[in-house]
Chains A and B, each alone.
Chain A
Amino acid sequence: MHEMSVALSVVDQVEQAARARGALGVQHVHLDIGELAGVVSDSLRFCFGLACAGTLLEGSELVTRSVPGSARCAPCGRTWDTGMPPDMLCPDCRAAATELVAGRELRITEVRWAADTAAPGSPAQPATILEES
């Protein structure tokens, strides 16, 4: 059940971003989850609810989007959906894929602050979360 660890990290990151902006509440957190990220979205949503308790995110909704696995074969110039279970062999030449183009994401794509609690000057705007170095 490492979804709890992931949920706590999401809450922590969004809370930091909210504090930096002076936001007092969060409506939605959108998350891309790759098919091969090893994270179960239903489980993560359940854990997210628990992880939000007592934080700025309490009452917010986690919206998840599944990102299909996609691999590329450089010699053939072909990109294909790996499917699930994934097929990492090129459909044309059956050689190993050169790279996985997508499918292992675990990424916040958008955070929306609660409309009546957003910082002045940024009402109900999608959040800009500063990337941590």
Chain B
Amino acid sequence: MCRVVDLQQAVLAKNTMAAGILRSELTARGTTVVNLLSSPGSGKTALLERELTIARERAVPAAALTADLATENDAVRLSRSGVPVKQVLTDGLCHLEADMLAGHLHNWLPEDTRLLFVENVGNLVCPASYDLGETLRVVLASVTEGEDKPLKYPTAFGLAHLVIVTKADLAGPAEFDEAAFRAHVQQVNPGVEVVLSSVRSGQGAGLLVERALAAAEGAEVHAPVMAQARA
């Protein structure tokens, strides 16, 4: 007879515990974390630059931490919004973990931060497994990536609290089938909200800030069925 040990508790529990502590600490000081996941090139940085600018215009204290394998290009772009931005270089690591994030926030995150946006490493596989203490997990896909992206990366889309379709102004030329994309999202994550956005046309401007603020104020966040797994 051998007792069964749930490795998810042993491996990811370490991260989940760190994430829980971070969430509690940040919530206690009034900061809500938004974790942004997408493939490389989906438009996380462009969307975030717009939303940070809007947050600043609306006097919502926001900050952003952006993770990449190399270069500080994203931090330079996000800094144009005027909010505090920190670049994290992962030196090849494909994802952020909660204790890494906590370390980077230490002695940096301004005390009055209401919304902290974390731009994860561009990758739809590994970051999906790591809770960063976020209240809102947002998964992005651009119209040029194909309608079946949610089926190809079911864990990432299946655990999303909000799905944003980016570069919506290119939907026509890309022959993006919005109905098929929505159906695929619903298949892996029934009930999750899917919204369209275009930084170029202004479509969906401010939506991410609004959803993040609502979550920060205690509005109910979508509960993905994939997250309702038995222990």
Contact = CB atoms under 8 A, between A and B. Distances in A.
Interface of A: 1-2, 5-6, 9-10, 13, 31, 36-39, 71, 84-89, 95-111, 126-132
B7 A36 contact: no
Contacts of A36: 154-155, 158, 226
Nearest to B192: A96
Contact of B189 (A38, A39, A88): A88
B70 interface: no
A45 B155 CA distance: 21
Contacts of B129: 2, 37-39
A108 B225 contact: no
B164 interface: no
Given A85-B151, A89-B190, A97-B190, A107 B7 contact: yes
Nearest to A104: B229
13 contacts: A1-B94, A31-B7, A84-B154, A86-B226, A87-B188, A88-B190, A100-B228, A102-B230, A104-B8, A104-B226, A107-B8, A132-B9, A132-B10
B95 interface: yes
A107 B94 CA distance: 23
Contacts of A130: 3
A50 B154 CA distance: 28
A119 B227 CA distance: 40
Contacts of A102: 229-230
A107 B4 contact: yes
A118 to B, nearest CB: 14
A129 B217 CA distance: 43
A84 B150 CA distance: 12
Interface string B26-51: 00000000000000000000000000
Contacts of B186: 89
A10 B11 contact: yes
**By CB atoms of chain B within 10 A, which of A2, A106, A110, A130 has the most?**
A2
Contact of B225 (A13, A85, A88, A107): A88
B125 interface: yes
A111 B202 CA distance: 56
B220 to A, nearest CB: 15
Contacts of B59: none
Contact of B5 (A39, A86, A107): A107
B179 interface: no
B6 A127 contact: no
A113 to B, nearest CB: 11
A97 B7 contact: no
Contacts of A98: 225, 228
Contacts of A131: 3, 5
Interface string B145-159: 000001110110010
